[in-house]
Amino acid sequence: MELSVTDLRELVTALSQSDIVELTLKSSDFELTLRKPGAMVSVVAPAPVTPRSLEDTAPNNPPMAEPVAASPPAPPATPPGKGSDLLSINSPMVGTFYRSPAPEEPAFVGVGDRITSGQTVCIIEAMKLMNELEAEISGEIVEILVENAQPVEFGQTLMLVRPV
For the segment 76-81, the average pLDDT, to the nearest whole number, is: 44
Backbone angles phi, psi at 15, to 5 degrees: -65, -45
CATH of the domain at 156: 2.40.50.100
Residue 64 lies in a domain: no
Give the residues across from 158 on adjacent strands: none
Q: 132 forms bridges with which residues in the sheet?
A: 123
Q: Where is 45: in which H helix or E strand?
A: none
Residues 119 and 135 sit within 8 Å (Cβ to Cβ): yes
Asked if residue 144 lies in contact with residue 158, where contact means CB atoms within 8 angstroms, the answer is yes
Q: Both 99 and 159 in a single domain?
A: yes
- Taking the C-alpha atoms of residue 157 and residue 160, their distance in angstroms, rounded to an integer, is 8
Q: Could you give the CA distance from residue 155 to residue 73 in angstroms, rounded to a whole number? A: 6
Whether 158 and 97 share a structural domain: yes
Write phi, then psi, for 59 (nearest 5 degrees): -65, -25
> Which residue would you say has higher pLDDT here, 14 or 97?
97
pLDDT of residue 42: 42
Q: Rounded to an integer, what distance in angstroms lies between the CA atom of residue 120 and that of residue 109?
A: 8
Q: How many domains does the chain have?
A: 2
Q: Look up the domain containing 146 and give its range.
A: 87-163
Give the list of residues 6+ apart from residue 153 with CB closer than 8 angstroms, or none. 73, 91, 94
- Is residue 68 included in any domain, yes or no? no
* 55 in a structural domain: no
Whether 134 contacts 118, CB under 8 Å: yes
Task: Flag whether pLDDT at 134 surpasses 60.
Answer: yes
Sign of the CA dihedral 99, 144, 162, 89? positive
Model confidence over 22-52: pLDDT tens digits?
A: 777 777 777 777 777 654 444 444 555 555 5
- Provide the pairing of β-strand 31-35 with 114-115: unpaired
112 occurs within a structural domain? yes
Q: Is residue 117 part of a domain?
A: yes
Does the residue 79 lie in any domain?
Answer: no
Q: Is residue 151 part of a domain?
A: yes
Q: Say what the pLDDT of residue 6 is.
A: 80
pLDDT of residue 16: 73
